[in-house]
Amino acid sequence: MSIFTMPSLGADMEEGKLVEWLVKPGDKVKKGDIVAVVETQKGAIEIEIFEAGEISALLAEPGQTLPVGAPLARLGAAEEAEVSAAVAAPEPAVEAPKAVVPPTPAPASAARPVPPPALGGAVLASPAARARAAELGTALEAIAGSGPGGAILLSDVERYVPSAPQPAAEPVAEDRPKGKPGLDMTEMRRAIAAAMSRAKREIPHYYLTHEIDLQSAQERLTALNRDRTPDRRLLMGALLVHATVTALAKVPELNGRYEAEPYAPSGPVHCGMAVAMRGGGLIAPAILEAQVKDPDAIMAAMRDIVARTRAGRLRNSEITQGTITISSLGENGVDALIGVIYPPQVALVGFGAPRVRPMVQDGAVQPRLAVTVSLAADHRVSDGRRGALFLAEIDRLLQEPAIP
């Protein structure tokens, strides 16, 4: 028996709201089944279970907001055959204690802006009182001190009740600006800020750019799509993603998650796609096992993941397992995109808008379709020389795209 808990869907997630159960007590589940929907900063996420068994009890109600690690359901062994499988697996035994780990409240207070210290000793206060007041967002001037010389003590801050109604530390759900159902734009902006700040703080980025001639790829694509109905047509974006994923085989250290020392690259390529939300914001769900997909399969996966991102129906594995991210501006964008790595990944590939540009071919300037590709990579893991090899390989692959 084990406890199924509120999963962490990213380092910046502290809690999630249970929206819906997709199972009931008595249901048998297998690894990877979607059992619940949880609303997070990234929208509504379908939660997969990572263990087989039978749901013996639901421990949380839809509508409840619960911290990461809170128990959601009790899972019993399903049948005799599955009992032995569960016993044989080492993970279930260590799963249960996780449920009792309390959520750490520290990140929330650290994220709040700290007002500058009072100048020239205008307000006397103990360091602990200042820190607590900053945490609460309370102005020291407003608090009456009971310490020596009227100094404000920690207990004064704790006791202080603002006279005017104070804005709640967390915005009230009903007042938040809403984009999509289940998508909170304020929260999403906060999640992006947390991830990007961490990237700029922790990852020594280096950047490379390269211009790639797409003329022959475009001609091949046009010829291919001419014989296809719209639902089977390929977009240039699918060729760019396919070439990028394939090129990783040559520089595998760019694909992975830097979560422990020493860094070890990932075998499978779970390729994150930065999907712009209509109305603002960004989510980067991953196409899992992209290295085994041909351009048609990549295209199908992109269609699926973009549709589900917009509808707010992603799965937790898709938003927590990415090993590299591609950000593409599409044909109405600008020339180049120099990205910020999505931690703990170690590389981000950016494509500008493909445009017809003057390029030299056979000694003459000709109008050719071209795109600028960029690489932002983690200098702890790779160097410019390896990065350059990677972009050159993407270029080479796009001269001979792997399409019929």
Q: Closest separation between CB of residue 225 and other proteins, Å?
A: 5
Cβ nearer to other proteins, comparing 233 with 250: 233
Residue 276 touching other proteins (CB under 8 A):
yes
Cβ nearer to other proteins, comparing 306 with 403: 306
Q: Residue 259: what are its φ and ψ, rounded to 5°?
A: -110, -20
Q: Report how far apart, in Å, the C-alpha atoms of 267 and of each of 203, 290, 321, 384, 402 are.
A: 22, 11, 12, 22, 22
Residue 180 touching other proteins (CB under 8 A):
yes
Q: Closest separation between CB of residue 301 and other proteins, Å?
A: 12
Vertex 211 angle, CA 205 and 213, to 5°: 145
Instruction: Determine which one of 231, 270, 362, 383 is catalytic.
Output: 383
Residue 182 touching other proteins (CB under 8 A):
no
Residue 231 touching other proteins (CB under 8 A):
yes
Cβ nearer to other proteins, comparing 194 with 234: 234
Q: Closest separation between CB of residue 346 and other proteins, Å?
A: 27
- How many residues bind other proteins (CB under 8 A)? The answer is 23
Q: Residue 5: what are its φ and ψ, rounded to 5°?
A: -115, 165
Q: Closest separation between CB of residue 385 and other proteins, Å?
A: 34
Residue 303 touching other proteins (CB under 8 A):
yes
Residue 302 touching other proteins (CB under 8 A):
yes
Can you tell me which of 59, 131, 151, 306 binds other proteins, judged by CB under 8 A? 306
Residue 307 touching other proteins (CB under 8 A):
yes
Considering only residues 15 to 74 of the shown chain, the ones binding other proteins according to CB under 8 A are none
Q: Report how far apart, in Å, the C-alpha atoms of 398 and of each of 82, 119, 178, 354 are.
A: 47, 61, 40, 13
Q: Closest separation between CB of residue 332 and other proteins, Å?
A: 5
Task: Verify whether residue 156 is a known catalytic residue.
Answer: no
| CA pair distance 196, 125, nearest whole angstrom | 35
Cβ nearer to other proteins, comparing 163 with 332: 332
Q: Which residues 6+ apart lie within 8 Å of 340 measured at CB?
A: 196, 199, 200, 205, 348, 376
Considering only residues 325 to 384 of the shown chain, the ones binding other proteins according to CB under 8 A are 330-332
Q: Interface with other proteins by CB under 8 A: which range of 105-113, 158-166, 229-237, 391-399?
A: 229-237
Task: Verify whether residue 379 is a known catalytic residue.
Answer: yes
Can you tell me which of 222, 260, 261, 262 binds other proteins, judged by CB under 8 A? 222
Can you tell me which of 225, 265, 321, 368 binds other proteins, judged by CB under 8 A? 225
Q: How would you class 348 by CB atoms within 10 Å of its CB: exposed for 0-12, middle for 13-18, buried for 19 or more?
A: buried
Residue 229 touching other proteins (CB under 8 A):
yes
Q: Interface with other proteins by CB under 8 A: which range of 113-121, 188-196, 264-272, 298-306?
A: 298-306
Can you tell me which of 52, 217, 235, 283 binds other proteins, judged by CB under 8 A? 235
| CA pair distance 194, 12, nearest whole angstrom | 7
| CA pair distance 133, 104, nearest whole angstrom | 20
Can you tell me which of 230, 262, 363, 404 binds other proteins, judged by CB under 8 A? 230
Bridge partners (DSSP) listed for residue 28: 54
Q: Closest separation between CB of residue 400 and other proteins, Å?
A: 22
Instruction: Determine which one of 210, 213, 379, 395 is catalytic.
Output: 379
Can you tell me which of 16, 71, 182, 237 binds other proteins, judged by CB under 8 A? 237
Asked whether the beta carbons of 204 and 341 are under 8 A apart, the reply is: no
Residues noted as catalytic: 379, 383
Instruction: Please report, as ranges, the residues that interact with other proteins according to CB under 8 A.
Output: 179-180, 222, 225-226, 229-231, 233, 235-237, 276, 278-279, 302-303, 306-307, 310, 330-332
